[in-house]
Amino acid sequence: MSPIGVFGGTFDPIHYGHLRSAYELLQDLGLGEVRFVPSAEPPHRGSTFAPAGLRYRMVEVAVAGQDGFMVDDCEFHRGGPSYTVDTLAAIRAEHGAAPLCLIVGMDAYLGLTAWHRWTEILGLAHIVVAHRPGWQLPDTGALGELLAECGTEDVGELHRQSCGRIYHHAVTQLEIASTEIRELVAAGKDPRFLMPDGVRDIIVESGCYTK
């Protein structure tokens, strides 16, 4: 079975930067699918700007019609903070020994040691770090030790093993940020062409980012 990519986030809102990175990883790593998992109650952020149901709907609209993309609402059926380790455990229980690849950006990876039960994550999934071309993973400290033990440059290991490896892959970095989109909308400007039209329509019609 091809690996399942797990791409979590607040997606407040989802935009082409998220979608392009996921699409490149889907192709380059030979993933069977990329599963977008909107966070219901993000533990490191507190409240979101758009409510959970609206953020889920934006992701649903954004991935509609793209082969290999799907949205997973598992975090909306659990109480309490949406911890990644719990999400991976739920997906692992659903898919048995299938390879799982947790997709994270470089910033998220650098903060890995602050995650809830972070030491359990590689027992549930591989970690795929998507980064801009030319960037390198840290080779010192706790993350450097982890990379020395679990790092691989062989994408085939993501297929042959169900979990336990760290793989990094450069992706096209579109200079789009959810924070800047929210600020743009709050200033009365149109976010067209920063995300799929369906997502833009939800933002405009709901007024979720309008001050």
- Letter for the amino acid at 37? V
pLDDT-derived band at 80, boundaries 50, 70, 90: confident
CB 7 within 8 A of CB 18: yes
DSSP secondary structure letter of residue 154 = -
Tokens of 58: 């934006």
Tokens of 121: 């994550």
- pTM confidence score: 0.95
Mean pLDDT computed over 71-94? 93
Q: Specify the pLDDT at position 46.
A: 67
- The tens digit of pLDDT for each residue in 102-152 reads 999 999 999 999 999 999 999 999 999 999 888 888 999 999 999 999 999
Task: For residue 137, give the nearest of 172, 161, 167, 162 by alpha carbon.
Answer: 167
Q: Which one has a higher pLDDT value, 77 or 23?
A: 23
Mean pLDDT computed over 3-23? 97
pLDDT-derived band at 79, boundaries 50, 70, 90: confident
